[in-house]
Chain A
Amino acid sequence: MKTFTTQHEDFKNLQRRLLYLRLGLLLGLLLLSMRLWYLQVVKGPYYRELSEQNRIRTVDLKPTRGLIFDRHGSLLANNVPSFNLYLTVEDIRDRDGLAAALEDLLGLPRAETHKRLVLQARSYLPILVKSGLTLREAALIESHRLDLPGLRIQAESQRNYPHGGLGGHLLGYVGEVSPEQQHEPALTDLPQGSIVGKAGIEKTYDRVIQGLAGEKTVEVDARGNEQATVAVTEQTPGDDLYLSLDLRLQETAETLLGGEAGAVVALDATNGDVLALVSHPTFDPNSLSRGLTASAWEQIATDPRHPLTNRAVQGQYPPGSTFKIMVAAAALESDKWSSNTKVHCAGAFPFGKHVFKDWKKGGHGVMGMEQALINSCDVYFYNIGQRLGIDAIAETARAFGLGQPTGIDLPSERVGIVPSTEWKQRVRKEPWYAGETISVAIGQGYVTVTPLQMAVATAAVANGGILYKPRLVRAIRERATGRLQDVPPQDRGTLPLQDRTLVLLQESLHGVVTRGTGGRARSTMVEIAGKTGTAQTVSARAIPVGATPEAIPKSFRDHAWFVAYAPADDPKIAVAVIVENSGHGGTFAAPIAKALIENYLKDTDARPQSPGQF
């Protein structure tokens, strides 16, 4: 077989082969042209779209949240500038290096950074890594910027509560919209990373104070650095809220409650304005709004004292003797009882095999309705309960707004329980036992209420029977127009009571303070009317007989209640106070109510309000 030619025998052959090489190369160019046609002409639009996606980035312009003021124009929530660190996953070249750098520079745990990188759904949208960087931290990151592509510091506004924990439950706090929240219908259109209210007014009025996000379309280079602005839609700031809250009264109430767990609600008796709404223990909305580490959050969430619970609207307590107001009303409105119906109290009420005791050993002797309320005689009300039956009591209690939401603009309001035969059958699948009515008649047993419900009911007794929806926001200032829109007070109807019933209740409550169990609420400044309550938390049998109050474990002690209004003849303020696990209402809750009322009335006298003053 002849394998090779010799070049001398055919130089021509050599030249022929060369032409094949030429042909091959030109054919190669032709094939490449076909590929080029495919890429540029057939798939051209597709690749152009990809190149646009590379180049164009949309930056959300976050709106500034509306401000929140109290009724006298004191600032409750505003916005302060803050350096926030953002990360665009798409621009990261070295994830491990980045996580390590963040740990070195800012002390962010590596594991947390990695977790955030994994959770991130859309890689081209920046995610917030840390907010509220110090100037030093911001400078550190800035100086490492070239080594850490994808990181960006943005000066943004941070929600700020100048008074810290004061009114924390009422105001709530804010945070980045969570992935779960984004599925809520009201929040679906919000851009990722938007700041939304997570609790309190910040949550219920989120749509009002949120504002509208803007959008900036920018051209970026391969490192994610902004090159030029393509288009801008400006953001619209949120509207401002003017609350009915009186900051000074709120502060007084928090001070009065001290370190105790409990709640204080103060309402304007004439229109339902929420003047103070305190829940203890409280929290600092600033730290919650700035983003907590997982462990700090865990600590708050598992605190046995439940600082995040707003006891004023979510705490469901047995009303104790404050419930006698409703039971008395039920009795006076029925044809089975009258104000003159006399009962002899010997300190005990036998019922079946059980003996229900009065709080006062030896009893109160013979008395009528007014005296029974003033002395908070249990036996008198046991008798009423036995005579009326549970359903009559339940009907009146509901008329006072118990067992239903007050309608306050705060999230997750609880309603408590107004037990009835129907309720027990429905919930417990059992019939009602007559003995259970006896407990309910003095506000024990199944019945539970929230402090806010009691304040609203007390205000209704004070103002002649109008049940108001508690008003938190008095006015909204639209940022766009600058116009101030008033939010009118709303009532939920009138108590179905005869005038003489109301008058008797009012006179009796006044008597409670002047000559009854609420003596510690007696003021030299103003005539106060009120009702004490002592809600048992455990069965009396759990406490050793003859134990001194100090010897009883704190968590076994009774909740102290006091509901009140003043001035007695021209009510301006209605108050409900509960101090958890302290003891008698007359001892622990009444002085708080008194101090609060005095403070408020002194305050309003000194600072007359005009509707236009904000």
Chain B
Amino acid sequence: MLDRRAPDNFEWRFVLVATSLLAIGVLSIYSIAPGPTPEGRTPLYAKQLLWILIGTVAFLAALAVDYHTLARHAYVLYAVTLLVLALVLIMGKSSRGAQRWFSLGPIAVQPSEVAKLMLVIVLAKYFANVQRAGWVQRVILPGLLTLPGILLILKQPDLGTAMSFTFIFVSMVLVSGLHAKALGLGILFTSMLFPFAWELAWSSLHDYQRERIMTFWDPMTDPAGKGYHALQSRIAIGAGGLLGKGLDEATQSRLKFLPEGHTDFVFAVFAEQWGFLGVLLLFGLFAALIYLASEIAVKARDPLGLLLAAGILSTLGFCLMVNVGMTMGVFPIVGIPLPLMSYGGTATITSMAALGLLLNVKRRRVTRFY
């Protein structure tokens, strides 16, 4: 049921920005690992190109199907998502102390990445249809919808994605219409609860998560150990200076002093290579993406479209802020990839599908029926 006028509403600027970010991501991955992996497998950048190819299919698919159709099945989709999250705890592949992946032959799928998008869809659907204005309908019920996901993801454990879940929920509640007074009350209430919640949260954290948060405050306490990531990342970014060190001279990245340069710390790689001016350009691209996405949301024809777009926007924005923040040492290191740039199959494909969904909202906005 493609719309005839769809091509006119296709957002070329948006696609251009997104493609640029994907390309920069591939270039950064290529720059630190141009050859086959140490195990002799396909080079990472080539695999990332493959993910982008699959992602393009996901993008087109998300664009093609009317988001209303998607929303109609939101609860089923979300239920399946929760089921998969439960399954990954039972059957998933364990790696580095966390059970986050499904092994499908040579590739590993990370269901929690997909779950973020599914949460956005189900919450958008819920808030679009909710009639009554009360705490129960507006906070408690959607909260109960979100909570199982958070708990299942915390169990893996994946602090970063659980935080994304929480943020998606909070931003959806806010956007869907929590008054300023109620927000203030909520904040007051939360801050009163905070000492207890903190105690609870802190004791439920794994040792390595606590250490990460501790070393976040002062990476120099253990520069070779727990604070190593944080410190090396700061060094990489700082060493980039105003103009960057270029691809060959970016020694922090090239000589692997910066760990995880292709995934969570891809921003630090870019910052070392391209410097302050280069990062400003990158931020410009992200800002454009945020601007265009919010434009789409604002101009959505119905609350469902708007909420869907807002959810995708806040997911994207949150991951961007936290990832960049943690590489620069303003957030603790939690495993959140940089959208569209970090290496990773599931994350890349899901992000591209989310962008497809965004454009989907835009191209349907003219056919307004009510």
Contacts and interface: CB of A to CB of B under 8 A. Distances in A.
Interface string B178-215: 11011000000000000000000000000000000000
Contacts of A5: 133, 177, 179
Contact of A44 (B138, B241, B287): B241
Contact of B182 (A3, A8, A37, A44): A3
A54 B252 contact: yes
A93 B176 CA distance: 50
A221 B256 contact: yes
B154 interface: no
Interface string A1-28: 1111111100101110111011011101
Contact of A21 (B133, B137, B175, B242): B175
A292 interface: no
A219 B224 CA distance: 19
Given A15-B306, A17-B174, A223 B256 contact: yes
Report, as a range, how many residues of chain B touch the other chain. Answer: 35 or more
Interface string B220-251: 00001000000010111111111000000001
B76 interface: no
Interface residues of A, number: 50
A90 B182 contact: no
A7 B286 CA distance: 29
B324 interface: yes
Nearest to B283: A29
Interface in B310-328: 310, 313-314, 317, 320-321, 324-325, 328
Contacts of A26: 287, 290-291
A7 B177 contact: yes
B97 interface: no
Given A4-B178, A18-B175, A36 B276 contact: yes
Contacts of B179: 2-5
Given A19-B298, A21-B175, A4 B240 contact: no
A43 interface: yes
B356 interface: no
A25 B297 contact: no
B330 interface: yes
A22 B238 contact: no
A503 interface: no
Contacts of A55: 251-252, 255, 257
B239 A44 contact: yes
A222 B255 contact: yes
A35 B279 CA distance: 12
Interface in B158-179: 171, 174-179
Contacts of B128: 7
B182 A4 contact: yes
Contacts of B240: 40, 44
A194 B236 CA distance: 34
A273 B279 CA distance: 77
A297 interface: no
B330 A40 contact: no
B7 interface: no
A257 B310 CA distance: 99
Given A21-B314, A22-B291, A32-B328, A50 B237 contact: no
A29 B291 CA distance: 12
A47 B237 CA distance: 8
B294 A21 contact: yes
A525 interface: no
B239 A51 contact: yes
Contacts of A18: 175, 294, 297-298, 306, 310
A187 interface: no
Interface in A45-80: 45-48, 50-52, 54-55
Given A32-B324, A37-B276, A25 B313 contact: yes
A220 B256 CA distance: 10
A46 B238 contact: yes
B134 interface: yes
A357 B280 CA distance: 105
B111 interface: no
Contact of B134 (A3, A29, A40, A90): A3
Contact of A47 (B127, B238, B294): B238
A289 to B, nearest CB: 34
B128 to A, nearest CB: 7
B153 interface: no
B335 interface: no
A48 B255 contact: no
Interface in A546-566: none
Contacts of A134: none
B271 A36 contact: yes
A221 B259 CA distance: 12
B369 interface: no
Nearest to A227: B255
Contacts of A120: none
Given A5-B179, A25-B290, A48-B241, A54 B133 contact: no
Nearest to B299: A15
B235 A47 contact: yes
A231 interface: no
Contacts of A232: none
A370 B147 CA distance: 117
B294 A6 contact: no
B157 interface: no
A50 B239 contact: yes
A41 interface: yes
A55 B255 CA distance: 8
A255 interface: no
Given A19-B298, A25-B321, A51-B257, A4 B138 contact: yes
A32 B325 contact: yes
A2 B135 CA distance: 11
A11 B321 contact: no
Nearest to A93: B224
B310 A21 contact: yes
B275 interface: yes
A44 B272 CA distance: 10
Most chain A CB neighbours (cut-off 10 Å) among B128, B237, B242: B237
A4 B134 contact: yes
Nearest to B276: A40
Nearest to A123: B224
Contact of B276 (A13, A41, A45, A48): A41
A47 B303 contact: no
A4 B178 CA distance: 5
B131 interface: yes
A324 B259 CA distance: 82
A39 interface: yes
A163 B157 CA distance: 67
Interface in B248-274: 251-252, 255-257, 259, 271-272
B313 A48 contact: no
Nearest to B278: A40
A33 interface: yes
**Considering residues A4, A41, A46, A223, which has the most beta carbons from chain B within 10 angstroms of its beta carbon?**
A4
Contact of A29 (B131, B174, B287, B303): B287
11 contacts: A4-B178, A19-B298, A29-B283, A35-B328, A36-B279, A39-B238, A40-B276, A41-B276, A44-B240, A55-B257, A219-B255
Interface of B: 127-128, 131, 133-135, 137-138, 171, 174-179, 181-182, 224, 232, 234-242, 251-252, 255-257, 259, 271-272, 275-276, 279-280, 283, 286-287, 290-291, 294, 297-298, 303, 306-307, 310, 313-314, 317, 320-321, 324-325, 328-330
Interface of A: 1-8, 11, 13-15, 17-19, 21-22, 24-26, 28-29, 32-33, 35-37, 39-41, 43-48, 50-52, 54-55, 90, 92-93, 219-223, 227
Top 9 A-B residue pairs of the complex, sorted by shortest distance between their CB atoms: A47-B238, A4-B133, A22-B294, A5-B177, A51-B239, A44-B241, A25-B317, A221-B255, A222-B256
Given A7-B127, A18-B298, 15 more contacts: A2-B179, A3-B178, A7-B128, A13-B177, A14-B176, A15-B306, A29-B290, A29-B321, A32-B321, A33-B283, A44-B241, A55-B257, A92-B224, A221-B257, A222-B259
